[in-house]
Amino acid sequence: GGAAPAAPLQARLAATPEPARAGRPGTLTVTVENTGATPQRQVVLNVLLPPANLQPRADSIQPRPTLVQPSGIVQIPIAAELAPGAREAVIIPFQALAQGNAVIQAQVTSADAAPAEFSKTLLINPR
């Protein structure tokens, strides 16, 4: 057997500003893309913002999340079907709470592929 194929669902995490500053707002953008050859159904993005460092501004998340937990978990439905080559951007405004390295984790799931995991470390400078 050959190498396992790359996961069809990819996520890119970008933050502005970077580095962030404690006490100030910022924005996390997660771009989910279907890099596979077949449509992916029931695509869902789960993002974990470390609650000691980052607080999501739930009322401003686009598209609307189905779940925002105090533990920092945000769940956002991406698409009932994401066509090959299609991508969707998720905007998660946040408040930076404390300085340090905030490890943001993202997981993309679908009905058609194994979950794919991604992460980004965002430096938060002191006030």
pLDDT level of residue 2 (50, 70, 90 thresholds): low
- Cβ pair 13, 56 in contact under 8 A: no
Per-residue pLDDT at 7: 85
Question: What is the average per-residue pLDDT within 17-32?
Answer: 98
Number of alpha helices (DSSP H) and beta strands (DSSP E) in the chain: 0, 10
Q: Above 70 in pLDDT, residue 59?
A: yes
pLDDT level of residue 1 (50, 70, 90 thresholds): low
Q: How far is Cα 71 from Cα 112, in angstroms, rounded to an integer? A: 28
Q: Above 70 in pLDDT, residue 4?
A: no
Q: Which pair of tokens denotes residue 14?
A: 């970008």
CA trace torsion 70, 73, 79, 82 (10° rounding): 170
pLDDT tens-digit map of 28-50: 999 999 999 999 999 999 999 99
